[in-house]
Chains A and B, each alone.
Chain A
Amino acid sequence: MKNSFENWLPRLVVAPAFVLGFAFIYGLMVWNGVLSLSASRMLPNYEWVGLAQYEKLWEMDRWWVALKNLAIFGGGYVLGSLAIGVVLAVLLDQKIRAEGALRTIYLYPMALSFIVTGTAWKWLLNPDQGLEKLVQGWGFPNFQFDWLVNTDRAIYCVVIAGIWQSAGFAMALFLAGLRGVDDSIIKAAQVDGASLPRIYWRIVLPALRPVFFSTLMVLSHLAIKSFDLVMALTAGGPGYATDVPATFMYTMSFSRGQIGLGAASATMMLATVAALVVPYLYSELRSKPHER
């Protein structure tokens, strides 16, 4: 009924956001899909090849290594960050004196670029001069820590650096969640005779399930996207021992002149993220009551 200017102006104002945003998100996504079904190598070549690139992808040892690394890194990074984050949050919730300072210390790595983190840890885990030399100097002459250049162990270095970066983030989220738990529930439990650890385990932590899930979600999604950290720490090496899908995609698309293959790997990454995120988003948006 309303045809007034007032009715159209809001739509006009958000139009660029939706047009450009959807083009960027969905338009390019589809285009990438098209590329993945094409014969593109150095340059885009829109000759249809069906699922050939995907077949090639799944036949590559390097891709399987990347997936395996994603699982190891993802699992270690997410679980490690969550675990440390929860523990730190619970401890900080105990009316600690230097809470503010400690929080700042735990969280500052999040302010750094993954490149800075990677560069720093590359030095820290340097096979000759880093951790190994330090611990040897402390009186353990047989200590060896060459994981960074060890084909099988290198990925764990990425895990450690990743946890260092993100555990504070998990802690911040959990702490905020803990602070939101109703004090009276805890007091009631204390009156009922429960000890503090018990209270946390049986009552408080279960109440934090939503926080747990959203943190899990964000960390997983960060893990899947991990590119910067790997590039800085190991550049995917030694060889391609620490390759992850993100670095795989980059190398194939921009160094090896295999655009179609790269696009296919990108689509696989998208599928993984979507499988994780879409159900989560859908349930979040559904359950929220729409105001006004």
Chain B
Amino acid sequence: MASSLQIAGINKRYGKADKSVEVLKRIDIHVEPGEFLILVGPSGCGKSTLLNIIAGLDEPTEGEIRIGGRNVVGMPPRDRDIAMVFQSYALYPTLSVADNIGFALEMRKMPKAERQARIAEVAAMLQIEHLLDRRPSQLSGGQRQRVAMGRALARQPQLFLFDEPLSNLDAKLRVEMRAEIKRLHQSSGITSVYVTHDQVEAMTLGSRIAVMKGGVVQQLGSPDEIYNRPANTYVATFIGSPTMNLVRGRQTGQQFEMLGLSVPLAGPASPQDVLLGVRPEHLRFDDASPWRGEVSVVEPTGPDTYVVVDTPAGTLTLRTGAQTRVQPGDRVGITVDAVHAHWFDAASEARLS
């Protein structure tokens, strides 16, 4: 049942000639059958527009969308054999849960008996059998989301599309539903494209992530690649919380010269300024290090503690264990291992190695 999805050269422009706004610029992504692709980025980056184009709710200015090999651009949504789960669930308010789930099947003129069997099957999968006769207004947020997913599952489509489905749920429910979605994807194996602005969802759910900004895919890769080898500072700071620390300076190859001090740290030599990127968990306290500063804030979170240190080269955030003894006002030294250092060109913001 799983199909591949090819997003080829998609452009989307609004307006004419010199007053046009380019919302999507040459998007090329290939999704293998059964893969779970995440489109993540801030508001306005174009991810929802791209999803709508895949769905057929919007048309690209240029490019092709190939589902299972055939180009669907120009085809109305109903002919594309896709299902979509919306942020606001978009359940039909005057229909019962059962009718909501079966609506698409009804539109395709599936015989009633078959339809009801399918609805029952899906309801069992999502554990909502007891809700089948209720109206959407009588359901909680989490229940509504399940019904929305049930509606999509009932279709057995070639492609699943998710448009920020968890954004309207409270934190605890979000964690539960995330696991639910992952489980459903594993059992159904249907190719999925999932849009979110939440980087935690992106990292936990996706088999591959496309980080988007300004209508361009900044990086496309597995969660591991995105996290450990970010292609530019935008991806580096977007993924990971607290955000990666960035320090500006000069790298000779052996020595990193920052504002006010210089530390022995190997990296790619460059005549221009570079940015050193270090994730909070990779910074360590080291009394012997020449890189010193004063602790300004200590934030215990339970399992970890975030320590904010003001140094002459900039303010850094460290993540350390819960049992740390550091206090605000302490003078400390910090260091990082070369293997955990990321290097970016300061001007282009692109990765250097």
* Chain A residues near B (Cβ < 8 Å): 1-2, 4, 6
Contact = CB atoms under 8 A, between A and B. Distances in A.
Nearest to A4: B76
Interface string B54-76: 00000100000000000000101
Contacts of B59: 1-2
Contacts of A1: 59, 74
B76 A6 contact: yes
A4 B74 CA distance: 8
Nearest to B60: A1
Contacts of A2: 59, 74
Contacts of B76: 4, 6
A155 B59 CA distance: 63
A12 B208 CA distance: 44
A231 to B, nearest CB: 46
A6 B74 CA distance: 12
Nearest to A1: B59
Contacts of B74: 1-2, 4
Contacts of A4: 74, 76
A6 B76 CA distance: 8
A222 B76 CA distance: 47
Contacts of A6: 76
7 contacts: A1-B59, A1-B74, A2-B59, A2-B74, A4-B74, A4-B76, A6-B76
A169 B74 CA distance: 51
A1 to B, nearest CB: 5
A4 B73 CA distance: 12
- The 5 closest A-B CB pairs, nearest first, are A1-B59, A6-B76, A4-B76, A2-B59, A1-B74
B69 to A, nearest CB: 22
B60 to A, nearest CB: 9
Nearest to B75: A4
A2 B60 CA distance: 11
Interface in B36-86: 59, 74, 76
A151 to B, nearest CB: 61
B348 to A, nearest CB: 36
A1 B59 CA distance: 8
A121 B239 CA distance: 77
B209 to A, nearest CB: 29
B205 to A, nearest CB: 29
B65 to A, nearest CB: 13
A2 B74 CA distance: 6
A110 B194 CA distance: 55
A2 to B, nearest CB: 6
A6 B79 CA distance: 13
A184 B127 CA distance: 44
A1 B13 CA distance: 13
Nearest to B79: A4
B71 to A, nearest CB: 13
A144 B74 CA distance: 80
A9 to B, nearest CB: 12
Interface in B277-292: none
B200 to A, nearest CB: 30
Nearest to B78: A6
A2 B79 CA distance: 14
A4 B59 CA distance: 12
Nearest to B61: A1
A7 to B, nearest CB: 9
A34 B305 CA distance: 84
A1 B76 CA distance: 12
B98 to A, nearest CB: 28
Nearest to A2: B59
Nearest to A7: B76
Nearest to B73: A1
A259 B74 CA distance: 56
A81 to B, nearest CB: 39
A100 to B, nearest CB: 27
A4 B56 CA distance: 12
Nearest to B59: A1
B202 to A, nearest CB: 27
A2 B59 CA distance: 8
Interface in B85-121: none
A2 B76 CA distance: 9
Nearest to B56: A2
